[in-house]
């Protein structure tokens, strides 16, 4: 028996169904759907409700007893194995958004079953007639609303308008008489901002999302968004001469690759060129006080990030060693905001509080002028954030410069480092998720020592800090970092301790 657990929107559920259906065909066994999460997430007003009921799919639903039995036999979550090696009873869960290779062997079955059961309603039928009458109809999908919020904004990201204009310009070279039919979750925004040099129809008032999906597949050509919804509409398009354009990379974070078929055209996308202002995933707040000797290394480590969904807030606290000039030069970068205190000294606590007040990111991290971060630090945060939005994410190790060290770092020629690992996490090889009770009972004695006490080894969720009024004590006469770290770890409802390394300390 093959059971597939459905979740997510229509595109995700189509992927899950297709993979499970193919595997059941190969094993010549029963195929059933798991709706066990329906009690929580498949509500009528939710994006991720059960969406396959309108299609000609096999609606055999697994019982709780069958699910429990198969769970003991084998579960296939990501990362995905080669399916030809899979045997026995299997429960498939999570999203299989990795292209057509996982179900291509039964493509004809999938195309037949992914058709609507019933005739279109009145408005949808009128749109289908208009699409059929167009000489060269192009379905153009704009995913906008939810791609500007939270995890979707950082992990996937709304496509810039330039992508759509490029696709239409390329299509016009081959098909001069095209009509664009725009499908969008934010049609008002698309009408105001999507100015195309071709006749354009904005598809509105379809009776259901599934009927809108069907209409997209009826167009002769497709410009997809980075959305499984339009991926499937393009794949199901029966036109043998269709042109399909897809974004490259698929996601802003670079974490996903949805397997664009070889016959489709990949169009380069610059997510830094977003036409809509989206707050960054990470705000890096750096306190600079006479750090000219190391500041260029800090800036290079930030500007060289593999994933550039960040902003840098520089606080120059009256530097007089040339660091002030380096800060002003860095501020020419559009990702940088500079605050200079002049010749006075406001102190680290005040500076960090100023930076926190100006930050816009989902998370913040606090650095000093002699800190560095590894080039994949923001990418690491995004990967962890895509799984859990913890209040504090802590690395339990760091590199500390020491001439007697045994670790070298590329780009820092002549410098050696010791790898410092918190004693209480020396055997940690995977993230630990800790709730408040765990910390108070087991970890509180440890957080005043080692890596847990270092500010630069942590990401803090900004909303969490603001909600709990967690600021740096500007009246403190000693260390301002340790009390802040202790309070954040104590107040946090959930925190993650990870062995991933991202912080380097220079001397």
Tokens (6 digits) for 409: 């770092």
Instruction: Quote the pLDDT of residue 148.
Output: 80
Residue 283's SS3 state is strand
Find the DSSP H helices in 227-291. Answer: 228-235
CA distances from 78 to 82, 83, 492 (A): 11, 12, 29
Instruction: Quote the pLDDT of residue 440.
Output: 57
d(CA 139, CA 181): 5
Instruction: Quote the pLDDT of residue 78.
Output: 46
Instruction: Quote the pLDDT of residue 423.
Output: 74
d(CA 506, CA 499): 20
Q: Are strands 336-340 and 265-268 parallel, antiparallel or unpaired?
A: unpaired
Tokens (6 digits) for 345: 């000294």
422 phi, psi to nearest 5 deg: -60, 130
Find the DSSP H helices in 280-385. Answer: 292-303, 323-330, 348-358, 377-385
Q: Which residues of the chain carry a pLDDT beneath 50?
A: 39-45, 77-79, 275, 448, 450-451
Which secondary-structure segment (H or E) carries 210? helix 209-218
Q: In this structure, what is the dihedral angle of CA atoms 82, 87, 89, 92, given to the nearest 10 degrees? A: 0
Instruction: Quote the pLDDT of residue 264.
Output: 95
Give the count of beta carbons closer than 10 Å to the beta carbon of residue 439. 19
Q: What does R_g of the chain's alpha carbons equal in angstroms?
A: 26
d(CA 359, CA 353): 10
d(CA 296, CA 325): 11
Q: For residue 349, is the peptide bond before it cis, meaning its omega torsion is within 30 degrees of 0?
A: no
Write a three-state SS string for 114-128: CCECCCCCHHHHHHH
d(CA 325, CA 328): 5
Instruction: Quote the pLDDT of residue 9.
Output: 85
Instruction: Quote the pLDDT of residue 406.
Output: 86
Closest CA to 9 of 270, 336, 233: 233
């Amino acid at each position: 028996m093959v059971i597939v657990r459905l979740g997510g929107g229509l595109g995700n559920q189509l992927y899950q169904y297709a993979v499970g259906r193919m595997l059941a065909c190969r094993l010549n066994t029963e195929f059933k759907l798991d709706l066990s999460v329906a009690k929580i997430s498949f509500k009528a007003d939710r994006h991720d409700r059960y969406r396959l009921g309108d299609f000609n799919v096999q609606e055999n639903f697994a019982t709780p007893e069958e699910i429990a039995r198969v769970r003991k036999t084998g579960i296939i979550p990501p990362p995905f194995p080669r399916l030809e090696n899979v045997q026995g009873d299997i429960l498939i869960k999570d999203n299989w958004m990795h292209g057509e290779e996982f179900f291509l062997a039964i493509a004809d079955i999938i195309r037949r079953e992914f058709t609507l059961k019933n005739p279109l309603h009145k408005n949808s039928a009128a749109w289908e007639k208009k699409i059929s009458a167009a000489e060269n109809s192009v379905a153009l999908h704009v995913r906008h609303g939810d791609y500007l919020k939270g995890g979707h904004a950082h992990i996937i990201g709304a496509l810039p308008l330039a992508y759509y204009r490029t696709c239409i310009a390329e299509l016009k070279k081959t098909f001069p008489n095209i009509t664009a039919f725009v499908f969008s979750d934010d049609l008002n925004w698309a009408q105001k901002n999507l100015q195309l040099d071709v006749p354009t129809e904005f598809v509105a008032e379809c009776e259901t999302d599934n009927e809108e999906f069907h209409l997209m597949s009826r167009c002769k050509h497709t410009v997809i968004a980075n959305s499984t919804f339009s991926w499937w509409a393009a794949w199901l398009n029966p036109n043998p001469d269709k042109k399909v354009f897809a974004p490259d990379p698929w996601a802003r974070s670079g974490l996903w690759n949805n397997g664009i078929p070889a016959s489709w055209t990949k169009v380069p996308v610059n997510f830094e060129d977003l036409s809509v202002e989206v707050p960054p995933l990470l705000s890096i707040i750096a306190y600079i006080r006479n750090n000219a000797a190391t500041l260029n290394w800090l800036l290079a480590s930030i500007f060289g990030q593999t994933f550039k969904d960040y902003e840098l807030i520089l606080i120059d606290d009256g530097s007089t060693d040339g660091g002030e000039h380096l800060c002003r030069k860095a501020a020419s970068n559009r990702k940088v905001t500079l605050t200079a205190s002049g010749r006075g000294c406001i102190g680290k606590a005040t500076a960090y509080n100023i930076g926190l007040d100006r930050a816009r990111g989902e998370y913040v991290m606090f650095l000093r002028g002699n800190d560095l971060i590894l080039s994949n630090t923001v990418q690491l945060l995004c990967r962890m954030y895509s799984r859990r939005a913890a209040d504090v994410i802590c690395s339990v190790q760091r590199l500390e410069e020491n001439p007697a060290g045994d670790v070298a770092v590329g780009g820092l020629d002549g410098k050696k480092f010791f790898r410092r690992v918190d004693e209480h996490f020396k055997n940690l090889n995977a993230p630990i998720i800790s709730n408040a009770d765990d910390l108070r009972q087991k970890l509180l004695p440890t957080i005043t020592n080692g890596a847990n006490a270092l500010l630069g080894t942590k990401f803090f969720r900004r909303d969490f800090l603001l909600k709990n009024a967690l600021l740096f004590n500007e009246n403190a006469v000693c260390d301002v970092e340790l009390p802040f770290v202790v309070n954040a770890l104590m107040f946090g409802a959930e925190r993650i301790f990870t062995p991933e390394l991202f912080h380097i300390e220079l001397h």
